[in-house]
Structure 1
Amino acid sequence: MEPIPMIKDKRSFVSTRNACKLCSPLGASVALKGIEGCVPVIHGSQGCATYIRRYMISHYKEPVDIASSNFSEETTIFGGVQNLKIALKNVINQYRPQAIGIATTCLSETIGEDVNLLLHQIKSELHEASWPALFSVSTPSYQGTHMDGFHATVFEVLKHFTLKMDKLDKINLFPGFVSPADIRHLKEICSDFGLDATVLPDYSTALDNPVWNHYHRIPQGGTPLNEVKTCGGAYASLELGAFCEVRQGGKSDGETVSPAMWLEKEHDVQRFASILPIGVNSCDAFFDKLQKLSGKALPEKYEDERGRLLDAYADGHKYVFGKKAVVYGEEDFVLGLCSFLDEIGIQVVVAASGANTGKLQQKIKEHCPVHADTIKVMSDADFEVINEISHDLKPDIIIGNSKGYYIARNLDIPMVRVGFPIHDRLGGQRILHLGYRGTQNLFDTIANALIDYKQSHSPIGYKYM
């Protein structure tokens, strides 16, 4: 097949009908839930906080409290300092948090709210016996996706709390926007390599709790602020993802920098980067970095997991090879999945993301050597356009979050639910995507979805493969 360029928007309309992305404050809220004792406050309308709570509760199946400064028409005209003051006072009195992270919305950004100045004013007017740590992050949704909000929040937390200090025997791990199960697995891997790792953010417990004996207003878990303060003393940072950079100062034409890049520049912390380790090739590169960081050989259990995964590739090859897939979601997730599918012989016909960094197609070319030239890469994607293109390309399977289910239903093809959000199945927070173990889970799930489809559409109804 001839190479297919990135799809250009040639539609006769300009409106977005069903965007393949979520809002920036939502991503900020997920990251803030990964900070110990932190309560997110959305500086904007009540509807923004309600939308975020609804999405997070539906996916994680956990209680999620998101406070709001509750803008009204009057607030929009005269400013939100009084509303923010009331919100902070209520949160402090009811939750006694260690920290409060304030994320802005389209509304507060549009009227030009300077939240840092407002916080200074509020602290001078309110005389709390003990103020929690207060910080803000700029997350207008008209300027990006939930991933922009997520990464901006991680970056802001680092800048706000990290201290200058001598080098410590520890590393920083920035996992990106992955599942709680993925974060738990990454922590297990670091422990097996003997690495003392500060994981930022760490919502592996806060957004996937065990049963409580009594209710906790703030769920347990999260990265302790005292650990964040020592990130500048680490000897290395390991950053997962190729799209972690945020713009300095919030300017559209400003310099871009990722959390690990900032630590390397400001605190001389060596940066190691990897795409999400999904698939044998990406996992090999990831574990190689861990061996260099730790000075230790690959633990035997991961050698065994790798071997079992390769054996599964051979066992399931005839069921997956040559199949066509549509993949969508966050850019890092799409890149990791495309790299994995490329190595098992599945041809990705559409790789779509609601983000628009301009780097997705080039990264796919780097990591998908077999099918890169025939993948339709869609940035700033709309599910309705994905739906239209998918009808023409006739894929065998769709891989992504619940928002694209109707496309699979219209095409009558199987769907594998991964990533965020998963609203129509249980266990979205427990899906393991990363490492040899996570790749094994994905391979078995994809292969079995294809086998189930063939079996259920067979006129015979056979019982053996």
Structure 2
Amino acid sequence: MKTATINGKAASTAKTATQNACKLCNPLGACLAFRGIEKCVPFLHGSQGCATYIRRYLISHYKEPIDIASSNFNEETAVFGGSHNLQLGLKNVTQQYKPEVIGIATTCLSETIGDDVPMILKEYNAAMGDKAPLPVMIFASTPSYSGTHIDGFHAAVRSAVATLAEAGTKNNLVNIFPGMISPADIRYLKEILNAFGIPFVLLPDYSQTLDGGPWAEYHRIPPGGTPTHAIANTGSASASIEFGSTLEAKKSAAGYLEEKFGVPRRHLPLPIGIKASDRFFAELERLTEKPMPEIHEDERRRLVDAYADGHKYVFGKRAILYGEEDLVISMAAFLHEIGVLPVLCASGGKSGLMKKRLLELIPDLEDTGIKVRENVDFVDIEHEADELRPDLLIGNSKGFTMSKKHELPLIRIGFPIHDRFGGQRLHHLGYRGTQELFDRIVNTVIEGRQNSSSIGYTYM
């Protein structure tokens, strides 16, 4: 609710539309998750425009070719249903790409007209019969008018597990569901797990499919991803570790495995900052009954030293933090840890859990003057910036216009990063990711001091 002046009197005006949303669409997240499954082709049941938009967004961030199939709705399909288009599209994709898996996500249009996708898939499988080996079909309901790209991401991961996981004799395997993180963070997590010597299944794994090397020839389906046989083994794991402060068990892959197969769910915030990373490493120590590997002890020691060295530059700085709810929550705790005040924690998501989870990580949240806002757009955030007078903006590239207008430095994290190179190789997690984030924040503050000084200086 905002106020306007009419004939010299204040009058309230209700906000009726989102302007420059602080979120992305539901099926985008599903397509990203599907790219983390080996030999999988993402398939949108909806219009070609939706697939083109999502491809453009993902390619701009990851700098990799990304194919997303579509059932290509038209006017007739929108009225009479998309069953024929979906079945024809699945047949064409199977013939052209020869995938082992097709990940199907719905769009606004197919959800609005009420297409029963599971029934259509049954009809398709029955019609194909024994004509050829059919790929595994993983379906996630992802209407764009409900939720965000993070919801679509988790829906796709849960559906993959629900489709493929099998019961088995319990072993020391650990499932890792890291959420929507960078390919660099995925590689780092695998490095940590290998250092502990623990067998694991990490889903999804797009560390190679969306950040691989050059090809001698074009691959319609890039190499990499979590194999289907590995996903099948998740039902016999000893535990699941799942990152995501606002992710509820009923919507999560780990929650499904706990309910269906009795695999314990370990639910942790994203390990950003020393405290959160300690919590993650402690969980690995408990599961493996092994101490933290020396290489990571060294990383932690260097990070503690960096905190001491850089504290004088960042203490008392004010930041507006925005983006995906889970990333904002963990980043806010990290900023609080280093003495930066996140004066506004904002997200386009609306789980209703942001403030509660922030209070768990920052008990003095309400005493520090930190504002928490869900379901906001960048117009809302910009209004807050006028009043809160921050020193820094921290979030994705969608905040650049606000950054430029208010002459505030923007520290880019998360997704999407469209106006800088290497967004897919940014670390955020663990001691290493925290170190890189801390260095970037400190150097941004120092650069701001240099640029605003009337005389300048070259020595710190």
Taking structure 2 as the reference length, the TM-score comes to 0.96
- Residue segments in structure 1 that go unaligned for 5+ positions in a row: 1-6, 247-255
1:140 aligns with 2:135: no
Amino acid in the other structure paired with 1:464: Y
Aligned equivalent of 1:250: none
The CA deviation at 1:11 is 5.3
Aligned equivalent of 1:445: 440
Q: Is the CA contact (8 Å cut-off) linking 2:2 and 2:14 kept in structure 1?
A: no
Q: 1:118 aligns with which of 107, 117, 120?
A: 120
Aligned equivalent of 2:54: 52
Amino acid in the other structure paired with 1:422: I
After superposition, where does 1:11-30 map in structure 2 within 5 Å?
12-30=14-32
The CA deviation at 1:57 is 0.1
Q: 1:187 aligns with which of 170, 187, 190?
A: 190
- Partners of 2:309 and 2:330 in 1: CA distance: 22
CA distance 1:222–1:372, shift in 2 (3 Å) = farther
The CA deviation at 1:329 is 0.7
- Partners of 2:99 and 2:272 in 1: CA distance: 36
Aligned equivalent of 1:333: 327
Q: Is the CA contact (8 Å cut-off) linking 1:352 and 1:378 kept in structure 2?
A: yes
1:267 aligns with 2:240: no
Q: Is the CA contact (8 Å cut-off) linking 1:348 and 1:371 kept in structure 2?
A: no
Aligned equivalent of 2:285: 291
Aligned equivalent of 2:350: 356
Paired-residue identity, %: 53
Q: 1:158 aligns with which of 154, 161, 166?
A: 161
Aligned equivalent of 2:221: 218
The CA deviation at 1:141 is 1.0
1:281 aligns with 2:281: no
The CA deviation at 1:12 is 2.7
Aligned equivalent of 1:74: 76
Aligned equivalent of 2:391: 396
CA distance 1:11–1:126, shift in 2 (3 Å) = farther
Farther off after superposition, 237-246 or 321-330: 237-246
The CA deviation at 1:151 is 0.5
Amino acid in the other structure paired with 1:140: P
CA distance 1:418–1:17, shift in 2 (3 Å) = same
Count of matched residue positions in the alignment of Structure 1 and Structure 2:
450
Q: Is the CA contact (8 Å cut-off) linking 2:400 and 2:410 kept in structure 1?
A: yes
- Residue segments in structure 2 that go unaligned for 5+ positions in a row: 4-11
- Partners of 1:295 and 1:435 in 2: CA distance: 20
- Partners of 1:316 and 1:354 in 2: CA distance: 32
CA distance 1:358–1:11, shift in 2 (3 Å) = farther
Give 3-state SS (helix, strand or coil) of 1:399's partner.
strand
Aligned equivalent of 1:251: none
- Partners of 1:388 and 1:36 in 2: CA distance: 44
Farther off after superposition, 25-34 or 127-136: 127-136
The CA deviation at 1:407 is 1.1
Q: 1:100 aligns with which of 99, 102, 106?
A: 102
The CA deviation at 1:168 is 2.2
- Partners of 1:245 and 1:53 in 2: CA distance: 28
1:379 aligns with 2:374: yes
Q: Is the CA contact (8 Å cut-off) linking 1:342 and 1:370 kept in structure 2?
A: no
Give 3-state SS (helix, strand or coil) of 2:214's partner.
coil
The CA deviation at 1:372 is 4.7
Deviations 1:12-53 (A, max 9, x none): 321111111000000000000010000011000111000000
Give 3-state SS (helix, strand or coil) of 2:334's partner.
helix
- Partners of 1:301 and 1:262 in 2: CA distance: 34
Give 3-state SS (helix, strand or coil) of 1:142's partner.
coil
- Partners of 1:206 and 1:40 in 2: CA distance: 13
Give 3-state SS (helix, strand or coil) of 2:145's partner.
helix
Q: Is the CA contact (8 Å cut-off) linking 1:347 and 1:371 kept in structure 2?
A: no
